Structure 1
Amino acid sequence: MVIKLTTEAHDRIAAAIAAAEARTSGEIFCVLAGRVSSYRDVSLGWAAAAALILPLSLIPLGFEAAWIPGFGDSWEAAHLAAREVSTGQALGAYAVIQAVVFLAVYLISRIPPVTRWITPRAVRRARTRQAAIQQFLAHGLHVTEARTGVLIFAALVDHQVEIVADEGIHARVDQTVWGDAAEALSRGLKRGDPAGGFEAAVGLCGEVLAGQFPPGSSNPNEVADRLVVI
């Protein structure tokens, strides 16, 4: 998924970060991702389950190989041979049905809205959290002087928002306080205004940091004030 934000949108977010950091020694960084996972394993799981379970419903209906063209038109030479051929044909036809069900369910499950719907929320949240932590480390938010880095992360396709705060903040700030910032970003994304969502989230995170981590005498800018789009 290609994400395009205007230069003006990037500038607005950068200005919001600079304004928030002017009141605190903390560092705020923003990342906007298209998706954090393909969830192909989830689709394969659903397809496999459907292939195993759905064809079973045909058995009470008296499933026969003849239901599948090309599987039930062999000549029968003797009673015993006919029974063996019939069993083999039925198993072959059943395998074909399983393969068709597997492929159909897998292809349907790869449609983005369907993928999101069939993927448990806990799985999407866990993978978003993992991706956010990777970005937190990749951009050096874990090596600020006072360990007061905060990452604001959003995944558009996954419909997930995550805020990651470094260990210097954990000791003094209840993690539930980030809920308002996450909700503000979610609202901005829902209305198609990611820049506005990030601005609001940055402002709220800045208020939390300002209350616990006021700026020092020098207050260096250890992390670039910008939004990264991946």
Structure 2
Amino acid sequence: MVKVFTPDDQARIAAAIAMAERRTSGEIFCVFARQVSSYRDVSLGWAAASALILPMLLIPLNFDPAWFPGLGDSWEAAHLAAREVTIGKTLSAYAVVQAAIFASVLLITCIPAVQRLVIPRRVRRARVRRAALQQFLAHGLHTTRNRTGVLIFAALSDRQVEIVADEAIHSKVDAEVWAKAVDALTRSLRVGRAADGFETAIGLTGDVLATHFPPRTDNPDELPNRLVEI
């Protein structure tokens, strides 16, 4: 797996976390994900819906199985009036159209650029949020002594950022307060400067934590100061 961040980038981010945490009793942890979901189920949904609906547009055009080689009127259908044969061929042709549409839409909607257009924003947002919460728990941010862990989570393919704060922070800081950090990192992802974005977001997050959670007399570093790539 090719790393997005160089060793120098990792060192810069670790230093930014350490600097921010010197001003607060809070703990900051960063995770970078290339993709939180394949969204294959969404593609399947679009393909199934298209296969059901689009072939109906052929009905006003007098859909005829003769449009397909080998499914046109045979001597048997024409001269023996084999109604069952004609119906069977029509259904077969319709099924071919449905299968072709299903496969085409499925392949097209699996293209990343197309996915960004067809996946509802609320679905993308929900999956990024779920992935962020999973990482929050997986890295033990909920186990800090005073419940002051903060996760900065960035999803590259979705170009979305989530900041997840533990109970003690969430009870004192409104979600809107994190907007500047989220916007800064989101903009940096769009222009390919993820490391710069993380540094800025960490600094802004540190400012918020320093205001509400100043450092304690004993202020241990409870979580690793690093960026995790998944």
TM-score (norm 2): 0.97
Superposition deviation, residue 157 in structure 1 = 0.7
Find out whether 1:12 has 2:12 as its counterpart. Answer: yes
Identical pairs, percent: 66
Q: Do the aligned residues in 1 keep the contact of 2:51 with 2:98 (CA within 8 Å)?
A: yes
Superposition deviation, residue 152 in structure 1 = 0.2
Residue matched to 1:25: 25
Root mean square deviation of aligned Cα: 1.3
The C-alpha deviation readout for 1:31-69, integer Å capped at 9, x for no partner, is 000000010000000000110111111111111110111
Q: Which blocks of at least 5 consecutive residues in structure 1 are unaligned?
A: none
Superposition deviation, residue 81 in structure 1 = 4.1
Residue matched to 1:145: 145
Superposition deviation, residue 161 in structure 1 = 0.6
Distance 1:182 1:82 in 2: 67
Residue matched to 2:206: 206
Distance 1:189 1:78 in 2: 64
Question: SS where residue 192 of structure 2 aligns?
Answer: coil
Which stretch shows the higher mean deviation, 78-87 or 103-112? Answer: 78-87
Q: Do the aligned residues in 1 keep the contact of 2:13 with 2:199 (CA within 8 Å)?
A: yes
Distance 2:149 2:163 in 1: 11
* Mapping of residues 183-194 of structure 1, within 5 Å: 183-194=183-194
Distance 1:166 1:81 in 2: 75
Superposition deviation, residue 76 in structure 1 = 2.1
Find out whether 1:101 has 2:101 as its counterpart. Answer: yes
Superposition deviation, residue 93 in structure 1 = 0.4
Residue matched to 1:58: 58
Question: SS where residue 76 of structure 1 aligns?
Answer: helix
Superposition deviation, residue 80 in structure 1 = 6.4
Residue matched to 2:157: 157
Residue matched to 1:88: 88
Cα 1:78/1:68, change in 2 over 3 Å: closer
Which stretch shows the higher mean deviation, 16-25 or 167-176? Answer: 167-176
Superposition deviation, residue 99 in structure 1 = 0.3
Distance 1:2 1:129 in 2: 24
Cα 1:228/1:77, change in 2 over 3 Å: closer
Residue matched to 1:134: 134
Q: Do the aligned residues in 2 keep the contact of 1:2 with 1:34 (CA within 8 Å)?
A: no
Distance 1:114 1:209 in 2: 39
Superposition deviation, residue 82 in structure 1 = 2.4
Distance 1:147 1:84 in 2: 72
TM-score (norm 1): 0.97
The letter for the 1-side match of 2:66 is: A
Q: Do the aligned residues in 2 keep the contact of 1:3 with 1:34 (CA within 8 Å)?
A: no
Distance 1:170 1:78 in 2: 76
Find out whether 1:225 has 2:225 as its counterpart. Answer: yes
Q: Do the aligned residues in 2 keep the contact of 1:17 with 1:28 (CA within 8 Å)?
A: yes
Residue matched to 2:114: 114
The C-alpha deviation readout for 1:161-206, integer Å capped at 9, x for no partner, is 1000000101111111001100010111112111100000000000
Question: SS where residue 217 of structure 1 aligns?
Answer: coil
Superposition deviation, residue 75 in structure 1 = 1.8
Find out whether 1:123 has 2:84 as its counterpart. Answer: no
